[in-house]
Amino acid sequence: MGNTLAYKILQNHLLDGTLSPGNEITIKMDQTLTQDSTGTMVYLQLEAMNVDKIQTELSVAYIDHNTLQTGFENADDHAFIKSVAQRHGVLFSKPGNGICHQLHLENYGKPGKTLLGSDSHTPTGGGLGMIAIGAGGLDVAMAMAKGTYSLTVPKVINVELTGKLRPWVSAKDVILYVLQKLTVKGGVGKIVEYTGDGVKSLSVTDRATITNMGAELGATTSIFPSDENTQNYLKDQGRPDDFIPLAADPDAVYDETLKVNLSELTPLAAMPHSPDNVDTIKNIGKIKVDQVAIGSCTNASYTDLMKVAAILKGNKIHQDVSLVISPGSSKILSKLAQNGALADMINAGARIIENACGPCIGMGQSPKSGAVSLRTFNRNFKGRSGTLDADVYLVSPETAAISAITGVLTDGMECGKELPEIQSVDFSFNDNFIIYPEGTNKQNTEVEMGPNIKPFPRNTALNDVINATVVLHAGNNITTDDIMPSDSRLLPYRSNVPHLANYCFEKIDSNFSARCKEAGNCAIIGGENYGQGSSREHAALAPLYLGVKFVLAKSFARIHRSNLINSGIMPLVFENPADYDDFAIGQKLVIENAKQQVKENVIVIKNIDNGKEYRTLTNFSDLEINMIICGGKINSIKGE
């Protein structure tokens, strides 16, 4: 029985465990990437680990999320990351260089390598034939410190491509189609592997658009083979020696297969407010458009923007539309400037903004109230644009550009306009935006911690008796965004947990943080699916800072449960869910003989106010028991 490409790469990197779905394995991690929004915490964690030398082949710190510098906070973060990068031997990509995933593809991604990134769209690297996985910051810090990463072996889905895309239909439509078929839950616990004849008609940047939005399927990662197109792409980027051919065995066996005939696809859009709410543009109809935003790590490649320029050339943006374009990288912007495409965009009335995430993360360019915004990005959850009542549609660059001219959502196949073939160009390697570490001698490098950088909050080892006051009695489906909001007001404080903690649970209970500060040791009562949504570590770090010792809920979302344990906060599950009603804010709880109970995996909580005892389920693994007793993952690694 042949092997899938994903399993071949995992097997090559296997350090511990058996490569079979559902098993825990540890693999060698070749590369890591961070962006500034999550990166400050990653490097604070790395500092807390007291690591002498990072163990990866290559680690890069990109600055692309919070590049707006209206106050000192973002600049402080950038200076901090730059100094820590110097100290630990990490490459630093200055703000203005571009978006982490586009840059990594251009400059550092290599077929057959493993990459762990503190950003959920790290699977973009799968377009080059890498196993590229997004993870929480602490996992990325650990990967740098130890050169390893542990994961549950995913199943592998085969998406078999045949045919060839027609003009006006692009890679974005391919992944929107896959999202329509598989939904935002369809990739959970799986790797999506693309095979079939249709693969050769897609360039590396097309493939990267598809693997990028594999994150929206919930997949661990997505991967394409490495072939002649990969070789050409690496040659164009001035890195021909990084090419190796890679493919699945012809008789590889997959857990599921989805067949997609590229020739049959038409332009699609993901309608508000989910990336899998997909229909054809023809079916959606000619809705009036207020804003068009082109860019992001999904669709800001040279080819994408050359197509946009060709559509805009000689035309005028509709008077009711604001068109913003953010190129994916400095190299792309430079080429567009050299060949006149940038002038074509500007002359049509487009606003060119910095090579950065910008509007994708809600940093600027929020549409007007009630607007329809077409975006070439990857997410359209309510409020992500910064405007709560805006309707965001996810579309291809071609659809975005033609709609910016017509002022209504437009199917380019029906406009009668010919699209030119975009030729690839020689980019040659340009590292003028990169700062290389001068050495890894820690004594010689001062870490620059401006007033916005506060130390990473650390827990203490578990006490034998835990007294805690109930500070919140929350309902079902509490999201990590409910716990720790992340908007343009708070994003500049990602390295400042004490400041963020003031806003913890503010959407649900504006007195939460004040109550915690008064109580000292705290407990949270939750309903079903506590901590669902984004993998945000700050949703565990802010409660840790505020003194939360345990969360007692009906059930937990997987990643948040891990983040709580990493922080030394116990996630406890009601043995009898009906007990939830016995608890109220202000009640005093106690866990006696806590260490022994954690080891035995049964914890009994006594409610002093009503005198009753409550059994809880824990299900801690041996590693988790150790982390909880030590007071979190970092303490457990350091043996504290």
Of 130, 234, 357, 525, which one interacts with ligand F3S (CB under 6 A)?
Answer: 357
- Do 432 and 424 meet the contact criterion of CB atoms below 8 Å apart? no
Give the H/E segment covering residue 248: none
CB of 424 to ligand F3S, least distance (A): 23
- Nearest to ligand F3S of 28, 207 (CB atom): 207
Structure tokens at 194: 């693309």
Question: Cα separations (Å) of 438 from 87, 222, 581, 624?
Answer: 8, 35, 59, 38
- Do 552 and 523 meet the contact criterion of CB atoms below 8 Å apart? yes
Binding of residue 548 to ligand F3S (CB under 6 A): no
CB of 95 to ligand F3S, least distance (A): 13
| Cβ-based neighbour number of residue 183 at 10 Å | 18
- Interface pattern 29-68 for ligand F3S (x via CB under 6 A): ------------------------------------x---
- Do 566 and 590 meet the contact criterion of CB atoms below 8 Å apart? no
Site for ligand F3S in 492-511 (CB under 6 A): none
- Nearest to ligand F3S of 120, 479 (CB atom): 120
Stretch of 72-80, 154-162, 357-365, 595-603 contacting ligand F3S, by CB under 6 A:
357-365
Binding of residue 524 to ligand F3S (CB under 6 A): no
Binding of residue 296 to ligand F3S (CB under 6 A): yes
CB of 43 to ligand F3S, least distance (A): 18
Binding of residue 332 to ligand F3S (CB under 6 A): no
- Interface pattern 92-131 for ligand F3S (x via CB under 6 A): -------xxx-----------------x-x----------
CB of 298 to ligand F3S, least distance (A): 7
- Nearest to ligand F3S of 297, 565 (CB atom): 297
- Nearest to ligand F3S of 297, 484 (CB atom): 297
- Residue 595: phi and psi, rounded to 5, are -60, -45
CB-side neighbour CA atoms (13 Å) of 347: 13
Structure tokens at 603: 């914890």
- Nearest to ligand F3S of 91, 213 (CB atom): 213
Structure tokens at 414: 């029906």
Binding of residue 394 to ligand F3S (CB under 6 A): no
Site for ligand F3S in 407-466 (CB under 6 A): none
| Cβ-based neighbour number of residue 4 at 10 Å | 23
Stretch of 162-170, 301-309, 353-361, 488-496 contacting ligand F3S, by CB under 6 A:
353-361
- Nearest to ligand F3S of 222, 296 (CB atom): 296
Structure tokens at 100: 């982490």
CA-CA-CA-CA dihedral for 174, 178, 183, 188, to nearest 10: -110
CB of 530 to ligand F3S, least distance (A): 25
CB of 57 to ligand F3S, least distance (A): 22
* Closest-CA residue to 512 (of 496, 530, 525): 525
What residues contact residue 70 under an 8 Å CB cut-off, 6+ apart? none
- Do 464 and 517 meet the contact criterion of CB atoms below 8 Å apart? no
Distance CA 508, CA 263 (A): 49
User: For the chain, percent helix, then strand, then coil, each to nearest 5?
Assistant: 35, 20, 45
- Nearest to ligand F3S of 92, 550 (CB atom): 92
What residues contact residue 564 under an 8 Å CB cut-off, 6+ apart? 531, 540, 551, 556, 570, 571
24-28, strands of its sheet edge to edge: 14-16, 24-28, 148-152
CB of 269 to ligand F3S, least distance (A): 18
Site for ligand F3S in 139-178 (CB under 6 A): none
CB of 122 to ligand F3S, least distance (A): 9
Total residues belonging to the chain: 640
Binding of residue 294 to ligand F3S (CB under 6 A): no
- Nearest to ligand F3S of 45, 486 (CB atom): 486
- Do 182 and 255 meet the contact criterion of CB atoms below 8 Å apart? no
Stretch of 3-11, 170-178, 354-362, 507-515 contacting ligand F3S, by CB under 6 A:
354-362
Distance CA 586, CA 601 (A): 27
Binding of residue 10 to ligand F3S (CB under 6 A): no
Distance CA 281, CA 538 (A): 38
CB of 299 to ligand F3S, least distance (A): 10
Distance CA 435, CA 97 (A): 11
CB of 101 to ligand F3S, least distance (A): 6
Binding of residue 190 to ligand F3S (CB under 6 A): no
CB of 312 to ligand F3S, least distance (A): 21
Of 361, 374, 400, 544, which one interacts with ligand F3S (CB under 6 A)?
Answer: 361
* Closest-CA residue to 452 (of 414, 399, 493): 493
- Residue 221: phi and psi, rounded to 5, are -165, 175
Of 105, 360, 401, 603, which one interacts with ligand F3S (CB under 6 A)?
Answer: 360
Distance CA 142, CA 45 (A): 9
User: In the chain, what's the furthest Cα-to-Cα distance?
Assistant: 78
Q: Please count the residues of this chain forming the interface with ligand F3S, following the rule CB under 6 A.
A: 12
Binding of residue 378 to ligand F3S (CB under 6 A): yes
* Chain contacts with ligand F3S (rule: CB under 6 A): 65, 99-101, 119, 121, 296-297, 357, 360-361, 378
